[in-house]
Amino acid sequence: MTKGLFITGTDTGVGKTWATVALMRHFKNQGHTVIGMKPVASGCLEIDGKLRNEDALLLQQNASIPVQYEWVNPYAYRMPVSPHLAGAEHPPVLDDICSIFQTLQQNADIVLVEGVGGWRVPLNADSDVSDLARVLGLPVVIVVKIRLGCINHARLTYESIVQSGQACAGWIAVCSDNNMLLREENIATIKAMIDAPLLGVFPFMPEPDFDELSAAFEKTL
């Protein structure tokens, strides 16, 4: 088992956090210690005088061991916009993220890193999400929100990952639209067009049941 995975998505709001927490539960059920990390987050709220991101808090809550928030989410920005804009005055530094990531690796069997937005979202003036995955040296998992347009988004994201020289460990289908036409056919099309395994299919649910979602990986991970 690799020491970690990098979870990206075909867009923002596609279910990366659901997928990351479900993967955390899955690996914990296998007896591994797991920590989740969301290095960069926009759209944070002020709680007790400090900026906090609800997705990062969820990762912190599901870790096998207590981890301070600043290690889970070292770059928290208030504005819900691209990080290179939200953090213009204090941009993410990839070397600093790597240092924290390596510390987390020393404290758990597996570290799952959730990206921000999609694969090519800029983090600062020089780097984007793909650069972060590269410097961390992690295989990439794509989260695909199954909706109209998902085939194009999934193929473009996969092709960009391959062009970046990164290994794609697989993809996860998130069925967010309960009324989508030909949903299974769309999933089958993506499966046929992407040279990476389908790790799991998340059924439609208004609120996440992470124990149920983690069961999606029983046959693949």
Which residues are annotated binding-site positions for ATP? Answer: 55, 114-117, 174-175
Q: Are 148 and 175 in contact (CB under 8 A)?
A: no
Please give the structure tokens belonging to residue 166.
């990164």
Cite the annotated binding site by residue number. 17, 42, 55, 114-117, 174-175
User: In the 3-class helix/strand/coil scheme, how is the chain assigned residue by residue?
Assistant: CCCEEEEEECCCCCCHHHHHHHHHHHHHHCCCCEEEECCEECCCEEECCEEECHHHHHHHHCCCCCCCHHHHCCEECCCCCCHHHHCCCCCCCHHHHHHHHHHHHCCCCEEEEECCCCCCCECCCCCEHHHHHHHHCCCEEEEEECCCCHHHHHHHHHHHHHHCCCCEEEEEEECCCCCCCCHHHHHHHHHHHCCCCEEEEECCCCCCCHHHHHHHHCCCC
Cite the annotated binding site for Mg(2+) by residue number. 17, 55, 114
Q: Out of 3, 38, 191, 219, which one is annotated catalytic?
A: 38
Cite the annotated binding site for substrate by residue number. 42
- What is the CB neighbour count within 10 angstroms for residue 221? 18
Q: Is 38 a catalytic residue?
A: yes
Q: Which residues are catalytic?
A: 38
